[in-house]
Structure 1
Amino acid sequence: MTGRILIFSGGALGPWALQEIAAGDFLLGVDRGALFLIENGRQPDLAIGDFDSVTPTEFALIRQASKQCLSCDPVAKDETDTELAFNWALARRPREILLLGATGSRLDHTLANLHLLARALQEGIPCRMADEKNEVMLIQDTTEITKGRFSHISLLPLTDRVTGITLTGFRYPLHRATLTLGQSLGISNILQAPTGKIEIAAGRLLVIKSRD
């Protein structure tokens, strides 16, 4: 598989998520995320999960309306539904994985989903996680970014230290700076140029685009 895989999980979803879909994308619905796609006129290429968050009637609709459906026991599994879907996607080596509906009221699930970015980075697969007001990616080398629909860009280390951080095109530039866990120096920067560059020497850095 060479295209993108969009994973629609059962967290916070809305019209903004549908706008992320482009021609040729593979749509993977996770549990209630599959129902979201169907109710909005989109056919999941694959529905996956234990489907414990939908009614029997809704599950029947998901099975009927999806091109393929893989269900698992809600107890006899060690991964969350989103991780199951992510593992399936990662094994296909797509051009990119985009996680949607992976944030919500459960902070534990949100953090676990954020950690999936590290798995993708290790495998060399570009991966982003987005909701209505945020987009997150994890980097470990030079990266160029654009602002898009977001007003602020924040940098947070996912390792104890990230060293050699140099920012170009930002309101608040950095030159060979170091960020450590628990430090807020990288919060709420603003991209002033059409394209910004983030360079790092060592470590893993969360790049969070956000808007109020």
Structure 2
Amino acid sequence: MRKMGKRILIFTGGSLSDWAVEEIQDGDFLIGADRGAHFLIQHGKVPHVAVGDFDSVTEEEFGRIQRTSLETISCDALEKDLTDTELAFDLALSYDAEEIVIIGALGTRFDHSLANVHLLVKGLAKHVLCKIVDQKNEILLADRPMQIVKGKYSHVSLLPLTPQVTGITLEGFQYPLTNAVLTLGQSLGISNRLLDESGIVHLETGQLLIIKSRD
């Protein structure tokens, strides 16, 4: 296991624009998945690792990725079983990071977007803080109490990823819950608000998606 610093940012091939570059902080370790690597290079950033089958870039763009990235891991599109994002995520999990942020994980392909949300389960199993960030949302997955910071977001929604999530108690939210149960198919946890800059979501069993969003 190689120590790569506090945060690993994965840039993948969903919806990306200038906002995504603003997420980068000094000291971040940058992984570009397929076209995500090209995006980083276009914006003057050097990927520490570029990974994928690179079927979403031209031969010329791939050459630039190879020349610019500190390391390139290329695989055959027909022989791999995982998406490029999952390849990058598994690579990130193999490093000693405190946090993994996936940027560009949401886009026009709902199947890819949903599969990327499911990757958070892997991070939870490894006890690594993982989240998906786009221009309007931040998505986390919790199986234990978690402090939620409002930041730039106006709403917080809670959705069960397992059939049930039990023992949900909210501190610091406009609409309180006490020892509640959320079941798949319910919308009870949608569009809550923090009363101050932070609050706490308590839970006892299950896996709970916590989605911070803004219009």
The residue correspondences of 1:1-212 to structure 2 (distance < 5 A) are: 1=3, 2-212=5-215
**Using the alignment, how far apart are the partners of 1:135 and 1:18 within structure 2?**
16
Deviation at 1:93, TM superposition (A): 2.9
Q: How many residues are matched?
A: 212
Unaligned runs of 5+ in 2: none
The one-letter code matched in structure 1 to 2:113 is T
**Using the alignment, how far apart are the partners of 2:170 and 2:20 within structure 1?**
29
Deviation at 1:89, TM superposition (A): 0.7
Deviation at 1:151, TM superposition (A): 0.7
Contact 1:5 1:94 in 2 (8 A): yes
Which contiguous aligned blocks of 4+ residues in structure 1 show a shift greater than 4 angstroms?
Answer: none
Match of 1:103, SS? coil
Unaligned runs of 5+ in 1: none
| TM-score (norm: length of structure 2) | 0.97
> What RMSD, in angstroms, separates the aligned Cα atoms of the two structures?
0.7
The one-letter code matched in structure 1 to 2:75 is C
Match of 2:200, SS? strand
Deviation at 1:16, TM superposition (A): 1.6
**Using the alignment, how far apart are the partners of 1:67 and 1:85 within structure 2?**
15
Match of 1:141, SS? coil
**Using the alignment, how far apart are the partners of 1:137 and 1:194 within structure 2?**
17
Percent identity, aligned pairs only, is 55
Match of 1:206, SS? strand
**Using the alignment, how far apart are the partners of 2:89 and 2:146 within structure 1?**
23
Contact 1:93 1:125 in 2 (8 A): no
